[in-house]
Amino acid sequence: MQTLTNDNWLLTVGTFLPLVGVALMMFVPASDERAHKQIGIVTSAATLAVGIWTLLRFDFDQSEKLQFFVDSEWITVIHSNYTIGLDGISLPLYVLSMAVTLLVMIYTWDNMPDAGNPKSFIMLMLVLQVGMAGSFIAQDLILFFVFFEVVLLPMYFMIGVWGGEDRQYASLKFFLYTMFGSALMLVAFLALFFQTGAESFSFHHLAEAGALIDRDVQVWIFAGMFIGFAVKVPMFPFHTWLPDAHTQAPTQGSVILAAILLKLGTYGFVRIAIPMLPQGAKAWAPVIGILAVIGIIYGALGCLAQTDMKRLIAFSSVAHMGFVMLGISTLTEFGINAALFGMVAHGLITGMLFFLAGSVKHRYHTLEINRLSGMLIQMPRLGWILGFAAMASLGLPGLAGFWGEFPAILSAYNPNFGLDVTLYRTLMVIAALGTVLAAAYLLWLYQRTAFGRPNPEFAGTHSVGAAAADDHHGADIHDVTPIEWIAWTPFLIAIVVFGVYPQLMFGVMDPAVTALVERVGAGIP
């Protein structure tokens, strides 16, 4: 695996730049809220700028190679190095994490959660950003694990401090669940390390040596990683933390959670579990596939049973991640490409939906689907955006969602490496049924919230067009505010652009994915 090492300062800077902002904010008194918000925005903007510079310097013709590669001593005692690099698989997620953080910062300008204290809130978000970006560039298991865990704590506090009524329970559940997963994951990592001769934690070395481990051992190690990542994704039996966390988290938290955090799990599958343990992957693939499809149907059914808009969206991400995992479980180029695309698409779309849910809550002070109606009359623009996001979420071609969904279904028609074809074709049909259910619950949500006439209990204060920005008192129903426009437009544009011209992303990912699948194939006798 050749690597390109030019401009290799970029990744380090881009990852740790937010910490500068944090340090800065230490010296600003908590009372000066505007300053904190400004610092937050400026820092994340600078980070994104670095990210875009990375994008420009990235050599798209050899996106299968690790670029901006750094490999320097870190913890010599356990042979763990500070190894970072970026390739076609991680690039989109890396940049996405930066962009989302910036937009969330901007959104925070007007919509600070009721608990107040923006200082620590923004600091936490910046730390979160470090963890997320770091997990995507890490090329060393220990490094990855550290970043992976760095993400955990800020999110715990975000939910626990700024969350809704039931935040204690939700945050604890989230924390314990992921800790439980990470524990097993760490065990698996160590097992892998020692099985490969305890020489190095670098992905590259493990990917080469891991394939040589005896099959049954691989199966058990994979089991550990599987649970660790599956909790994060989350996959079907381990998903119950998600709805609570999403429902209770502040809007910003939900958006980041949906847009980036969930992707850490799937990214872990693609980047670590599958290439390092090919035979284990092959043995577990049917299980993953079945659980994924169960998740699709089950999440959809869960959505149909919801009365709370935000909780419905949360369940819908269980279904969508099901598609992603189905794609991964086929171990085909089609499937994994679809999965990677699906991650980004889901990040954009569901993030957008959570933004909307947040704004609706902010205006109506409720998310009861039965009480909301006639949004299109009271806030036409927000209503149309909701419709747009819903359509994107149900996988309408021409919008980003489709490209994560359709190729995944397609790939299940003939999975790779002699996986059971009959099983997978059954899964394909069931997954296709899932798309119908997706249409059902999203349109049903849209019909009941946006169509019809406004609920009289809110109809009183109704003014079309952008109104005064910030108000925590009374249900003043106003349309999309300028700040919201700034925060949302990039999402909307990205959804359309990637939907209309998916090659933008496929072109970057495909070479890397193809190389990856070849490596896996080499590891399977």
Partner 1 sequence: MMLAASASTGWFLENAFLIPLIPAIGFAIIIGFGRRLPKGGSEVGIASMALSLAIAIGATVQWIQRVGSVDEGSGEHALGGVFGFARSVFPTATEGGHGGEAYVEPVIRSWTWWQSGGLEFGLGQHIDGLAVMLLLLVAFISLLVQIFSTEYVAGDRRYTHFFAALTLFSAGMLVMVLAENMIQLILGWEIMGLCSFMLIGHWWEEEANSRAALKAFFTVRVGDMGLLVGTAVIFFGANQWAVENGSNGFSIQAISGWAMSGEASTSVLFWGAVALFIACIGKSGQFPLHTWLPDAMAGPTPVSSLLHSSTMVVAGVFLVARLYPVFYTGFDIGGTNVNLIAVIGAITIVIAAALAFVQNDIKKVLAYSTVSQLGYMMLGLGVGAWLPAVFHIFTHAFFKCCLFLAAGSISHSGSHHSFDMKKDMGGLWRKMPITAGSWMISTAALCGVPFFSGFFSKDEIIDNAHNNGYTFFYYVGLVGAAMTAAYMTRATYLTFFGTARGAAAGEHHDEHEAHDTAAHHDDHDADHGAHGADHHDDHHGAHAGPHESPWRITAPLVILAALAIGSGYLNAPAVGTHYFTDWVEPRGAAVELDGYASDEGHSEALGLAALPRAEEGYSEGCGYTDPSPGTVCYAPKLNHAEFSWGKAAPSIILVAFGIGISAWLSLGVFGGRRNPFVGLTRRFAPARWIHTLLVRKYFLDDLYERVIVRSVAHPISKAAYWVNQNILDGVVNGVGKSGRSAGDWVYRNVDQRVVDGAVKASGVVASESGHALQPIQSGRVNQYGALLFGAATVGAILLILLNI
DSSP codes of every residue in 54-72: HHHHS-GGGTTSBEEEEEE
Question: Which listed range, 153-161, 181-189, 364-372, 450-458, lies at the site for partner 1 (CB under 8 A)?
Answer: 450-458
Q: Report the residue number, 164 or 380, with the smaller CB distance to partner 1.
A: 380
Residue type, 153: L
Task: Give me 209's structure tokens.
Answer: 């040596």
* Segment contacting partner 1 by CB under 8 A, of 22-30, 403-411, 471-479, 487-495: 403-411
Which of 212, 436, 469, 522 binds partner 1 (CB under 8 A)? It is: 436
- Name which of 400, 250, 214 is nearest 320 in CA terms: 400
Count of residues in the chain: 525
Q: Is 332 in the site for partner 1 (CB under 8 A)?
A: yes
Q: How far is the CB of 480 from partner 1 (least distance, A)?
A: 15
- Would you say 248 or 306 has its CB closer to partner 1? 306
Residue 187 touches partner 1, criterion: CB under 8 A = no
Q: How far apart are CA 210 and CA 523, in angstroms?
A: 9
DSSP for 381-413 reads HHHHHHHHHHHHHTT-TTSHHHHHHHHHHHHTT
Site for partner 1 contains 440 (CB under 8 A): yes
Q: Which of 180, 112, 190, 119 is nearest to 152 (CA)?
A: 180
Q: What are phi and psi of 368, to 5 degrees?
A: -65, 115
Q: Hey, how many other C-beta atoms are within 10 angstroms of the C-beta on 454?
A: 18
CB-based contacts of 41, cutoff 8 Å, min separation 6? 102, 105, 106, 109
Residue 506 touches partner 1, criterion: CB under 8 A: yes
Rounded Cα–Cα distance for residues 326 and 194 (Å): 30
Which member of 429, 469, 493, 522 binds partner 1 (CB under 8 A)?
Answer: 429
Judged by CB under 8 A, does residue 23 bind partner 1? no
Q: Which is nearer to partner 1, 150 or 410 (CB)?
A: 410
Site map 366..385 versus partner 1, x via CB under 8 A: --------x-xx--------
Options 203, 284, 355, 364; binder of partner 1; rule CB under 8 A = 284
Our separate counts of H helices and E strands in the chain read 22, 2
How far apart are the C-alpha atoms of 44 and 95, rounded to whole Å? Answer: 12
**Residue 196 token pair:** 């490969």
Min separation Cβ 377 and partner 1, Å: 7
- Exactly one of 59, 471, 501, 522 binds partner 1 (CB under 8 A); that residue is 501
* Through-space distance between the first and last CA atoms of the chain, rounded to whole angstroms: 21
Q: Least Å distance between CB 382 and partner 1?
A: 15
Task: Tell me if 489 contacts partner 1 by CB under 8 A.
Answer: no
Among 48, 128, 428, 494, binds partner 1 (CB under 8 A): 428
- Phi and psi (nearest 5°) for 189? -55, -50
Question: Is 522 among the residues that bind partner 1 (CB under 8 A)?
Answer: no
Q: Which candidate, 125, 77, 127, places its Cα nearest to that of 104?
A: 125
Question: Does 82 contact partner 1 by CB under 8 A?
Answer: no
Q: Which of 266, 399, 239 is nearest to 326 (CA)?
A: 266
Distance CA 484, CA 494 (A): 16
# binding residues, partner 1 (CB under 8 A): 68
According to the binding rule CB under 8 A, does residue 302 interact with partner 1?
Answer: yes
Out of 16, 74, 82, 413, point to the residue binding partner 1 (CB under 8 A): 413
Contact pick of 23, 78, 115, 176 for partner 1 (by CB under 8 A): 176
Q: Which residues bind partner 1 (CB under 8 A)?
A: 173, 176-177, 216, 219, 237, 240-241, 283-284, 286-287, 290, 298, 301-306, 332-334, 337-338, 374, 376-377, 391, 396-398, 402-403, 406-407, 409-410, 412-414, 428-429, 432-433, 435-437, 439-440, 443-444, 447, 450-453, 464, 501-503, 506-507, 510-511, 513-514, 517
